[in-house]
Amino acid sequence: MEEALRSFFLQLAKNQSMNSWAKRYGLRFGANRFVAGETIESAIAAVQALNNAGMAVTLDHLGEFVADESEARDSADFCVRTLDAIHDAKAEASLSLKLTQIGLDISKELCLENMHMILDTAKKHDLWVNIDMEDFERCQVTLDIFSTLSQSYEKVQTVIQAYLYRSLDDVKALAEANVSIRLVKGAYKEPETVAFPDKADVDANYIKMLELHLPSAGLTSIATHDEHIIEHAKKFIAQHHISRDKYEFQMLFGIRNNLQQQLVDEGYPVRIYVPYGDDWYGYFMRRLAERPANVSFVVRGVFN
């Protein structure tokens, strides 16, 4: 039943008509539990509240699978404005983005052009940019673009998903290159030909990736709400004397808030992924897929 619901929400996440409807009618159905409003002002207010609670942030102006060039350029402008707003607010935050938001599905050249504009702004403000990982179809091209960009920019990171069979080899190569990565379990619907179907295998692979990357010179962002993995990471960090500037825990806005605060209170570096904007639908559906029990928020949202 849980697996059927998961597939259902991941299928819904790709529905373009629902997405257009959601953009037109604004944040609803309890999505504001996971999304920090639709404007940059609401996002910066959320960033400041988290900073005051001792957490850094990575801010994401929501958007993905853009098929129109002018929309891709507008999205890239939004990324630049987000970096400017972080700088103006003197906030402790980086930027996260998706390559399909800034034109990957239109052409690699357009995407690279937009990435250069965004990374030049980030460099000017001395801020990090993270390239989120999307579905398997876009994995290799994302890693290729990341590899090109990391030769010219120091503060750029990408994401590796534990559910993919290929990921352990990718982490090996990235650890040898001493680049910074975020480790996640993976949030898209992938076939058994490319991804572990069983959660236990995904979790085991996550641990292997973690142990491989933590000792490298690049930053390891441990992005998970899984307490077993977090406890394992804490022990590994202590046993191998991994210094504080070489890792951070990351969690999503609105998920496991107590655990977020507990890690801060214990003295660990914590960064929260804060999404904002009107393109909230696909992101929200993936959060429902991760935990179908979240549907109770939707039900409450409908009647509020």
Closest CA to 223 of 169, 258, 194, 186: 186
Q: Distance from first CA to last CA of the chain, Å, rounded?
A: 27
Nearer to ligand FDA, 24 or 232 (CB): 232
Tokens 């951070």 correspond to what residue?
248
Nearer to ligand FDA, 159 or 219 (CB): 159
Q: How far is the CB of 70 from ligand FDA (least distance, A)?
A: 25
Nearer to ligand FDA, 1 or 20 (CB): 1
In the complex, the residues that contact ligand FDA under the rule CB under 6 A are 132-133, 159, 161, 184-188, 223-226, 250-252, 255-256, 273, 287, 290-291, 294
Closest CA to 130 of 45, 226, 49, 61: 61
Q: How far is the CB of 7 from ligand FDA (least distance, A)?
A: 14
Nearer to ligand FDA, 69 or 250 (CB): 250
Q: How far is the CB of 125 from ligand FDA (least distance, A)?
A: 21
Q: Is the Cβ–Cβ distance between 117 and 154 less than 8 Å?
A: no
Q: How far is the CB of 189 from ligand FDA (least distance, A)?
A: 11
Written as six digits, the tokens of 259 are 């655990």
For the stretch 254-260, contacts whose Cβ atoms lie closer than 8 Å and that sit 24 or more positions apart, written own/partner, are 254/33, 254/34, 255/34, 255/225, 255/287, 256/225, 259/225, 259/227, 259/230, 260/55
Assess whether 132 carries a catalytic annotation: yes
Q: Are strands 270-276 and 156-161 parallel, antiparallel or unpaired?
A: unpaired
Determine which one of 182, 271, 286, 287 is catalytic.
182
Assess whether 182 carries a catalytic annotation: yes
Closest CA to 271 of 82, 55, 91, 92: 55
Nearer to ligand FDA, 83 or 233 (CB): 233
For the stretch 227-230, contacts whose Cβ atoms lie closer than 8 Å and that sit 24 or more positions apart, written own/partner, are 227/259, 228/203, 229/203, 230/259, 230/263
Nearer to ligand FDA, 78 or 188 (CB): 188
Determine which one of 132, 135, 203, 278 is catalytic.
132
Burial 165-201 (b: 16+ CB within 10 A, else e): eebeebbeebbeeebbbbbbbbbbbbeeeebbeeeee
Q: How far is the CB of 157 from ligand FDA (least distance, A)?
A: 10
Catalytic residue IDs: 132, 182
